[in-house]
Amino acid sequence: MASLRLPQRSPANAASRLPRTLARDVPAYADRPGERIRLSGWVHRRRRLSGLTFLVVRDRTGTAQVVVKDESTIEQVEGLPEETTVEVVGIASPNGQAPGGVEVVDPTLTRLGDPAETPAIELWRPKISAGLPTLLDHAQTTLRHPRRQAHWQLAAASLRGFRDTLDEQGFTEVHSPKLVESATESGANVFTVDYFGRPAYLAQSPQFYKQVLVGVFERVYEVGPVFRAEPHDTVRHLAEFVSLDVELGFIADHHDVIKVLRDVVAAMAHSVEIRAASAVGLLEVDLPRVPAEFPTLHFRDALAITGAPADEPDLSPAHERALGAWAKQEHDSDFVVVEGFPTAHRAFYSHPDPADPRWSRSFDLIFRGVELVSGAQRLHRYDDYVAALQQRGLALEPFAAYLDAFRYGIPPHGGFAIGLERWVGRLVEATNIRQVALFPRDLHRLAP
Ligand code: AMO
């Protein structure tokens, strides 16, 4: 007889058994006035007027207004500074003046922890006026600001879109080691760590592992941190960022890779629109339209458009901005692909163009004037790797474990990597990538 085992109901117990109502669901009580509800969240803002106090409670879905009229409860609110965690049990009461049309009246308040200290910024103010150093130095609490939270809501929704579309296309999600024995992108910006008495590196990318895993799963993707000891302070580089890596086998050339990239970017934009609608609204995000095919330029033509000398080895940030403007003007596109970078200046694993090996089957995707993605068809024959490394004067030995895979049948393959913070940064048109990273790591910043 289950009912006999129910605990005695004290009023406090009865309250805690009420299911939790989230702030976003409070307006639905317009049809059910007088119902008791329970909110849990943070004290977002208190406003004392004569004879009553407004208490705004924030949870993960938004804010709800609580009206306190009872003198002893008003006194209690005095001891609940902003950011204190509380539980509120009260009566839902429709009121045309209240945000969302319903407020909570006659509340019983329970403090769930210690009274909060004063945060570095006033989180209840709709706009943030503090500078970036303050926001980053106190990220533990400044991230609670709805506008700062919203950046990561865009990132999280993008990740869902990324994963969903690749799952649908037969990719397997993998996770590769972050402690590695050789640099993958270049020897220049690696973090060295002491690995049981011998040197190891923090992975600059999952490049080698995703290629080797094409030999296992054909199609793989990975979402994970990558590490670059970037020696300069720039608005687009972090020392640790989230890389969305993709690699697929049995391709004809890099255009098969760009097709997958197009679908992935379209899915990320769509997922942001659907799953992060409130963040899009709050930040007034101008969502990009992703064309059925990205406008594409050869590297030579891209240089010509920017007015750069023809022997320039790579695109500079200024070139990328110029190409972004060109894509907007010529194609009304936020995106442009540049393909065919000089083989000598791309990573050794890039596949040269068989018709003219000076150029490679590599590409970058520029989004609103900033490089968002690098990718390529890769070499897939062991002997080609040996030749490419020798040509660059690189020893084979550090790459032995990786190269070994190519002796056992790796199909023609290619892939790309999207920088998550770059993506969100361009979505909200942030002036500095640090604005959209949760806890950015750079030359000067290792905490919080
Ligand atoms: P790449 O080094 O170009 O390519 O990196 C891929 C993408 O990652 C982002 N990115 C960064 N974001 C923040 N801070 C940084 N320091 C930083 N560096 C790069 C950019 C860039 O386009 N293995 C290849 C990818 C591949 O070929 O699959 C690679 O890592 O958005």
Domains and CATH numbers, the chain: 14-111 (2.40.50.140), 136-436 (3.30.930.10)
Lowest pLDDT segment from 4-13, 63-72, 144-153: 4-13
* pLDDT above 70 as % of the chain: 96
For residue 66, what pLDDT is reported? 98
Q: Which atom of ligand 1 is nearest to the CA of 239?
A: 16
Active site residue 312: no
In angstroms, the CA 375 to CA 296 distance is 14
pLDDT greater than 60 at residue 227: yes
- Choose among 296, 267, 270: nearest CA to 366: 296
The tens digit of pLDDT for each residue in 365-408 reads 999 999 999 999 999 999 999 999 999 999 999 999 999 999 99
More confident residue, 183 or 349: 349
Residue 235's region, left for phi above 0, alpha for psi from -120 to 50, else beta, is alpha
In angstroms, the CA 362 to CA 315 distance is 13
For residue 91, what pLDDT is reported? 98
pLDDT greater than 70 at residue 289: yes
pLDDT greater than 70 at residue 10: no
Where residue 211 falls among pLDDT bands split at 50, 70, 90?
very high
Output the residue whose Cα is nearest ligand 1's atom 23.
207
Q: What are phi and psi of 67, to 5 degrees?
A: -110, 125
Q: Residue type at 45?
A: R
For residue 437, what pLDDT is reported? 98
Active site residue 421: no
Burial per residue of 176-203, b for 16 or more beta-carbon CB atoms within 10 angstroms, e otherwise: bebebebbbbeeebbeeeeeeeeebbbb
In angstroms, the CA 268 to CA 155 distance is 9
Q: Which atom of ligand 1 is nearest to the CA of 372?
A: 31
For residue 151, what pLDDT is reported? 98
pLDDT greater than 70 at residue 6: no
Q: How far is the CA of 430 from the centre of ligand 1 (A)?
A: 18
Active site residue 422: yes
- The stretch 119-135 carries a mean pLDDT of 97
pLDDT greater than 70 at residue 213: yes
For residue 7, what pLDDT is reported? 36
In angstroms, the CA 440 to CA 430 distance is 14
pLDDT greater than 60 at residue 132: yes
pLDDT greater than 90 at residue 12: no
Where residue 62 falls among pLDDT bands split at 50, 70, 90?
very high
Q: How far is the CA of 419 from the centre of ligand 1 (A)?
A: 6
pTM: 0.95
Among residues 145, 240, 374, 426, which one is catalytic?
374
For residue 352, what pLDDT is reported? 98
Query: By the 8 A CB rule, do 193 and 186 touch?
Result: no
Query: By the 8 A CB rule, do 323 and 331 touch?
Result: no
Active site residue 228: yes
